[in-house]
Structure 1
Amino acid sequence: MKISTFLLGILLLGLSCKDKELPNISMEEDVRILASDSLKGRETGSEGAQMAAEYLEGRIKALGLKPITSEGDFDQEFSFKPRRDPHSEIEFGSVSDSSLNAQNVLGLIDNGGKRTVILGAHFDHLGLGGEGSLYRGEPAIHNGADDNASGVAVLLKLAKMLKEWPEARDNYLIIFFSGEEMGLLGSNYFAKNPELNLEEVPYMINLDMVGRLRDEKTLSVSGTGTTPVWSQLLNSLNPGFELVLSESGVGPSDHTSFYLQDIPVLHFFTGQHEDYHKPSDDAELLNYEGMDLIATYILDLAKAMEKQEEVAFRTTKNESEEVPRFKVALGVIPDYLFSGEGMRIDGVSEDKPAQKAGLKKGDVVIQMGDSTVVDMMSYMRALSVFESGDETTVVVERDGEKVSARIVF
């Protein structure tokens, strides 16, 4: 897509604003604009990210959302110095003295309520690749349709539905975060500079990579242990998803920033895939019907949560602290939504041990060396004992049969 597509989106938005009804821009239109080549991958601090922010500001204005910042703006600017040492912390600073400037985009649905629910999704991506990319070719635009134009589009759909719900009592703060790909920068900055009293926030919902719902309708929801009501409501309101629930409030996305402020959280996710962090993550590959189902599910959840007078926060086990350290990699993308026994492979990287050994997408690893693999954690424990140069045997289930492969790390 060329720049004309982006301008067409703005034009459509402007025309919609003249109508009395809220603009009826589809999720697919939002994704195609945000994931167009014109935005060059929406890298944090780039011109493309700024264009995306301007588009989102126009969208939430058209939906009738209100500014919440003390300056009456729809964006919250922040600046930071990129890490020189990967183990160091990001340094935030004033907009004038930092090498990179970015902004969150946020708007309020003000129902005059005592509570304000936060609904968020990050809108940045990897630009032309670089650190974080799994693509091994020349620099190329990483459009990030699933990661995370999908979450942004679902959030815009949710904002419209919540705005049109006349019985709503809670307020809803819609936030589009920047800097997620660089380390949850935007959500971290907002959580520490919140523009509202966080004690009045009953919960936060995060949408990150929700555009690839599969035929079996498997939907991952993390953070279910952060308040006692989550699991019961998620199951009772389930319209037919194959739910994979995880209690931990800590994970590699923006909900973590709010969990660390003692706010109950949920993170919705439809799983990784072979196009993750690659230039091939494009708009035509998304399941828009699935995204609509997720939006409606979260709306029903929000309606049910309005009946909960108290939303008690609970700490959860930090599963990331239990993850073993690795000296080698098998070179596969695990299927994090797989609920069977073993570790199912969702993708195989080129020129890595798994590919050289003949492992394929869909294989289920059930043994590695002397270790039986029954789930993701046991797979990681088995992998952690190997060093570069080691050899071992991996046993996988493939089409109902057991297949052995020799792995050289």
Structure 2
Amino acid sequence: MKPMYLLFLIALFISCKKVQPVDVSMKEDVLILASDSLQGRQTGTTYEVMAADYIADRFKNLGLVPKGTNGYFQEFSFKDKSDPHGNVDYVSKSEDSTITGTNVVGYLDNHAENIIVVGAHYDHLGMGIEGTLYRGENPEIHNGADDNASGVAAMLHLIKSLKGVNTNNNYLFIAFSGEEMGLLGSNYYVKNPTIDLKKVDYMLNMDMVGRLNNENAIAVHGVGTSPIFKQVLFANKGELHIAEHESGVGPSDHTSFYLMDIPVLHFFTGQHEDYHKPSDDADKLNYDGMDTITQFILSIITELNDDGKIAFRKTKNESQEVPAFKVTLGVVPDYLFDGKGMRIDGVSEDKPAQKAGMQKGDIVIKMGDNDIEDMMSYMKSLGKFEKGSITKVTIDRKGEILVLDVTF
């Protein structure tokens, strides 16, 4: 049974779309955004609009100035693309064959020269649009607690921490729509900005920050987009274990800003078995971990507060270096692992890895004649095999070296 305060908040929100100016916790924000009442926040639905209203009210109560094109809102309409890898067509107004998404934009004005952008997408998969990994017969609500109610809640919590401190920058906070359909909201924003993008110092993106594990491991993408980032990250990591990734290009909204020559960092606590499934619920999040991550991000902002506008640096697009491959092991890689090899975070039923006897936690260190140093070398190695290929895969299982026969 839900706590009475949650039922009260949800009832209050649905009835008048207002949240009283109280000290709302990250958990309360997640519980509302990831509730069944919002039906998975699919872009273009009335439920996404309800979520946008909730975030706008939170922005208002936290003292942010509206910075959309219509108060806190920046609407954009587009034609649903039949090719999921094609370019979206934005249109000037909503029509019968279009979908309308809504970015929510608020501004903390410290009358400074430069601006820091903090973003998190709030849309999700509704009842299971393209991208769902759910294979049940009947549609179910995809509440998206980690993806990405967690990032929105962390962003809202960060606003409170930035009021009256680190005033050498202004702050633009954006809850993006359309991320699950292809970074549509962030792409639209950088092409139709409500501030001068030339004044943006850097952009911080929080997408799936709700599952900090027992190793305190967090992936940070975009570390190479400014020469100063790596030093600042590791100077402020505390007990966190950082898996760093250089590239500014990735499957989240920071990419849109990187492509405008803006330094970016994306914070991510890793994929899990509930990713893009109806089971991604609020009770599975690590709220203490979310607070730790928010404080980590605040410490980065604090360290850079006196540095002026930081330098931008282009990075390699790591995804373009990976060859297309025709086979798969049938495992979920552990994207937070930064040791030698590729650690397995999950094994799919009736796939080559399971048939060969691989287990969660095994570290792949060699495939055939190819040494596996990291995720990139694993994917490059995978690209050398064909369907029907038979090879030996060497794994490290808790210090024991095993050689397994794998048939693709």
TM-score where L is the length of structure 2: 0.93
Deviation at 1:10, TM superposition (A): 6.3
Partner SS state of residue 119, structure 1: strand
Equivalent residue number for residue 343 of structure 1 = 342
Equivalent residue number for residue 295 of structure 2 = 296
- Does the C-alpha gap of structure 1 residues 50 and 350 become closer, same or farther in structure 2, counting only changes over 3 Å? farther
Equivalent residue number for residue 11 of structure 2 = 7
The answer as to whether partners of 1:124 and 1:180 remain within 8 angstroms in 2 is yes
Q: After the TM superposition, which residues 286-365 of structure 1 pair with which residues of structure 2 at under 5 Å, given as runs?
A: 286-365=285-364
Any idea what the Cα deviations from partners look like across 1:88-142, whole Å, max 9, x if unmatched? 2111112322521111011011111111110000011112224212222223222
Q: Which amino acid is the alignment partner of residue 221 of structure 2?
A: S
Deviation at 1:204, TM superposition (A): 0.5
The answer as to whether partners of 1:13 and 1:62 remain within 8 angstroms in 2 is no
Partner SS state of residue 141, structure 2: coil
Name the CA distance, whole Å, in 1 between partners of 2:200 and 2:231.
21
- Does the C-alpha gap of structure 1 residues 39 and 406 become closer, same or farther in structure 2, counting only changes over 3 Å? farther
Instruction: Work out whether 1:95 is the aligned partner of 2:93.
Output: yes
Any idea what the Cα deviations from partners look like across 1:319-377, whole Å, max 9, x if unmatched? 11111211122221100111111111111223333233332211111222232222111
Q: After the TM superposition, which residues 19-98 of structure 1 pair with which residues of structure 2 at under 5 Å, given as runs?
A: 23-71=22-70, 73-97=71-95, 98=97
- Does the C-alpha gap of structure 1 residues 355 and 6 become closer, same or farther in structure 2, counting only changes over 3 Å? farther
Equivalent residue number for residue 149 of structure 2 = 149
Partner SS state of residue 183, structure 1: coil
Equivalent residue number for residue 180 of structure 1 = 179
Partner SS state of residue 220, structure 2: strand
Any idea what the Cα deviations from partners look like across 1:265-300, whole Å, max 9, x if unmatched? 111111111211122111111111111111111112
Instruction: Work out whether 1:209 is the aligned partner of 2:208.
Output: yes
Deviation at 1:47, TM superposition (A): 2.3
Deviation at 1:402, TM superposition (A): 2.6
Partner SS state of residue 187, structure 1: helix
Name the CA distance, whole Å, in 1 between partners of 2:118 and 2:309.
18
Q: Which amino acid is the alignment partner of residue 87 of structure 2?
A: E
Name the CA distance, whole Å, in 1 between partners of 2:336 and 2:250.
15
Any idea what the Cα deviations from partners look like across 1:200-233, whole Å, max 9, x if unmatched? 1111000011111111111211111111211111
- Does the C-alpha gap of structure 1 residues 296 and 13 become closer, same or farther in structure 2, counting only changes over 3 Å? farther
Q: Which amino acid is the alignment partner of residue 188 of structure 2?
A: Y
Deviation at 1:70, TM superposition (A): 4.5
Equivalent residue number for residue 382 of structure 1 = 381
The answer as to whether partners of 2:12 and 2:19 remain within 8 angstroms in 1 is no
The answer as to whether partners of 2:247 and 2:316 remain within 8 angstroms in 1 is yes
The answer as to whether partners of 1:271 and 1:336 remain within 8 angstroms in 2 is yes
Name the CA distance, whole Å, in 2 between partners of 1:407 and 1:83.
39
Gap regions ≥5 residues in structure 1: 18-22
Gap regions ≥5 residues in structure 2: none
Any idea what the Cα deviations from partners look like across 1:234-284, whole Å, max 9, x if unmatched? 121222211122221111110010000011111111111121112211111
Name the CA distance, whole Å, in 2 between partners of 1:70 and 1:12.
23
Equivalent residue number for residue 367 of structure 2 = 368
The answer as to whether partners of 1:106 and 1:175 remain within 8 angstroms in 2 is yes
Fraction of identical pairs, as percent: 57
Equivalent residue number for residue 118 of structure 1 = 117
Equivalent residue number for residue 16 of structure 1 = 20
Q: Which moved more, 1:136-145 or 1:200-209?
A: 136-145
User: Size of the alignment, in residue pairs?
Assistant: 402
Name the CA distance, whole Å, in 2 between partners of 1:340 and 1:166.
37
Partner SS state of residue 203, structure 1: strand
Partner SS state of residue 157, structure 2: helix
Name the CA distance, whole Å, in 2 between partners of 1:10 and 1:64.
22
Name the CA distance, whole Å, in 2 between partners of 1:222 and 1:297.
15
Deviation at 1:39, TM superposition (A): 1.5
Deviation at 1:8, TM superposition (A): 4.3
Partner SS state of residue 56, structure 1: helix
Q: Which moved more, 1:51-60 or 1:386-395?
A: 386-395
Name the CA distance, whole Å, in 2 between partners of 1:11 and 1:39.
13
TM-score where L is the length of structure 1: 0.93
Partner SS state of residue 52, structure 1: helix
Partner SS state of residue 20, structure 2: helix
